[in-house]
Amino acid sequence: MVQNSFFCHDASSVVHGSTNEIVRSLGLPTSTQWIQNTVWLYNCEVGASIHRVAISSFSSMQCGEGAETMSDTTAITSISCTLYHVPLATVLSDARHGQHTHFELVIVKIQSRDNVEGIGYTYTGGKGGSSIKAMIDDDLASLLLGQDSTCIAQLWDKMQWHVHYVARGGIASFAISALDIALWDIRCKRAQMPLWRLAGGFQQRVRCYGGGIDLHLTESELCANVMKYIENGHTAVKIKLGKPTMAEDVSRVRAVRRAIGDEHTLMVDANMGYSVAEAIRAAKEFSKSNVLWFEEPTIPDDLAGTRRVGVEGGIAVAGGENLHTIHEFAHAINYGRLDYPQPDPSNIGGITGWLKVATLCEAHNLPVCSHGMQELTVSLLAAVANAGWMEVHSFPIDQYTKAGPVQAVNGFAHAPDVFGTGVEFVPCMSLLGVLLEFQAMHFLTLLMDAGAREANFISSVSK
C-alpha cells in the first residue's frame, strides 16, 4: 500500500519528496486535505523558466480490476521526458518527406520504487517531437505514476484508451511507444535477461539490410553508396525511388543491380510517391532487375490500390512505417497487399505493439520485418519465429548508444546479450539546456551547459 506519496516533475527532471515538502515548494497551503488518486497541474517558476508541474497521489497498485493489492516495490515513482534535435551528417532526401537535415529523438526515463530505471524512446523525421513530448508530459505520465510497472499489458491498454478519442494512431502511438519501451527495459533488467530472450528467444542472429535515404544522390553516387553497405557486411540493400521521371527510377534500379551483382538482394522504396497506375508500370520494370520488394508504392490508405500493385505489377509489396495500430496492419494484410509487414516500434505502441503485429503476421503465414531503430529491432526480430528482414536505417540512433552502431556480418546482425533492451544512450544524451538553431543549411549550436561542449553534435530542447 502506497499512501500520501507525491511526485513533482518538469520537462527535465523529477522531484520527489514528502507531501508537505512538495506542497511548500509550490507555495501551496500545507493544511490542504489532499485527495488520493488525483492529479493537479501547476505552472511553477524554476529559475528564469516557467515549468509545467504535475503532482500526483495514489493509494494502491493493482493489476486488473479486483486484483489483490500488490507490493509497492515495483510502483512507478518518476517519469522524465527530453526532446533532442539530432543533426544528420549530410542532408538526406526521399520522394514524400523531402529533405532531412536532422531527426528528433524523444527519450523517456521511468523509475520504479525498487530503483530500476527503464529507458524508452521514439523518433521523428524532424517534425512533431514537441507534440509527442507534450502528450507524455501532460496526459500519460500522470496516468502511469503510482502504477505497477510489471503490468505492462494493462498499462499499454490504459494509455491507448486514455487518449484514444483525440489521438488514436497518431501522436499517441509515438508517445505510448516511448513509455512502453521504458517499461520493457525495466522488466528485462528486473528479470536479469536480455530483451531478445525475454520476449521470445528464438535465435540471436537476424537477417539485415542497408536502408539508404539516397534520392539526392546521382546515379554514380548511389552505386558507390550501396557498395559501402556491401563492404560493411551487408548482403542486401534498399534504395529510394521518386525521381522526376519513372525512366530515371528504372535506370537507377538497373545501375544498382549491376553494381551489387545478382548474388545480393535488392529492395526499392517509393515512400508513397507513385499513383497506383504509375506503381503498376514501375513494378513491371523493377521485376526485371530481380527486386525482392516494392516498399510503399502508393499511399497506405488505398488498400485496393496497393493490392492492385502487387497483383498486376507482379511484385511483392512491403510497408508499415505509416501503419500505427494493429488494426491498420490487419486491414492492410486482409484487404490490401502486404507481403513484408514492417512495424516500427517507435510508432506502433512500442515493444508491446510490435509483438502484437508479429503475432498477427505469423497467423497469416507472413514474415515480420522492421523499420528503423535497428539498435532495438535486432532484439525483437531475434525474439520471434517468423523474423524477416531488419532494416539498418539511415537515421543513426545507434550511433548515440553505448553499444554503438549495429554491425552486419555476412548479412546478419546479432542481438545484444545485456540485461534490458540493450539500448542505453551515451551520457551526452542526458545533458540539458543545449539549444539547436537552424540557419540555412548550417547548424548553430548554442552551448548553455559547460558539460555539453564535448557533445556539440547533439542538441536538447525541453519546455
Q: Mean pLDDT check: name the lowest of 129-143, 175-189, 355-369, 428-442.
A: 428-442
pLDDT of residue 99: 86
Residues constituting the chain: 463
**Residue 371 bears catalytic tag:** yes
Q: Can you give the three-state secondary structure of 374-439, one letter per residue?
A: HHHHHHHHHHCCCECEEEECCCCHHHHECCCCCCCECCEEECCCCCECCCCECHHHHCCCCEEEEE
pLDDT of residue 61: 45
Which secondary-structure segment (H or E) carries 23?
helix 19-25
| 5/332: higher pLDDT | 332
pLDDT of residue 10: 35
> Residue 461's pLDDT band (boundaries 50, 70, 90)?
very low
Instruction: Select which of 9, 85, 189, 240 is catalytic.
Output: 240
Average pLDDT, the chain: 83
Instruction: Select which of 102, 371, 393, 414 is catalytic.
Output: 371
Question: Is it the case that residue 134 has pLDDT exceeding 60?
Answer: yes
Per-residue model confidence as pLDDT tens digits over 78-107: 999 999 999 998 888 887 887 889 999 999
Cβ neighbours, 10 Å, residue 60: 15
Question: Is it the case that residue 254 has pLDDT exceeding 70?
Answer: yes
pLDDT of residue 156: 98
Question: Is it the case that residue 436 has pLDDT exceeding 60?
Answer: no
pLDDT of residue 96: 84
Q: What's the CA gap between 25 and 381, in Å, rounded? A: 47
> Residue 46's pLDDT band (boundaries 50, 70, 90)?
very low
Average confidence (pLDDT) over 28-53: 33
Per-residue model confidence as pLDDT tens digits over 275-309: 999 999 999 999 999 999 999 999 999 999 999 99
Cα distances (angstroms) measured from residue 428 to each of 84, 363, 403:
11, 42, 14
Q: What's the CA gap between 401 and 377, in Å, rounded? A: 14
Strand, helix or coil at 152? helix
Question: Is it the case that residue 257 has pLDDT exceeding 80?
Answer: yes
Give the pairing of strands 39-46 and 76-94. unpaired
Alpha helix (H) residue ranges in 137-245: 141-144, 152-162, 164-167, 171-191, 195-198, 219-231
pLDDT of residue 94: 86
pLDDT of residue 427: 77
Q: What's the CA gap between 181 and 108, in Å, rounded? A: 9
pLDDT of residue 93: 82
pLDDT of residue 444: 30
pLDDT of residue 63: 66
Cβ neighbours, 10 Å, residue 3: 11
> Residue 62's pLDDT band (boundaries 50, 70, 90)?
low
Query: Are 318 and 369 within 8 A, CB to CB?
Result: yes
pLDDT of residue 199: 98
> Residue 323's pLDDT band (boundaries 50, 70, 90)?
very high
| 8/333: higher pLDDT | 333
Q: Burial code of 328-366, b = ≥16 C-beta within 10 A, e = fewer?
A: bbbbbbeebbbbbbbbbbbbbbbbbbbbbbbebbeeeeb
pLDDT of residue 71: 59
pLDDT of residue 428: 61
pLDDT of residue 448: 32
Is the overall model pTM greater than 0.95, yes or no? no
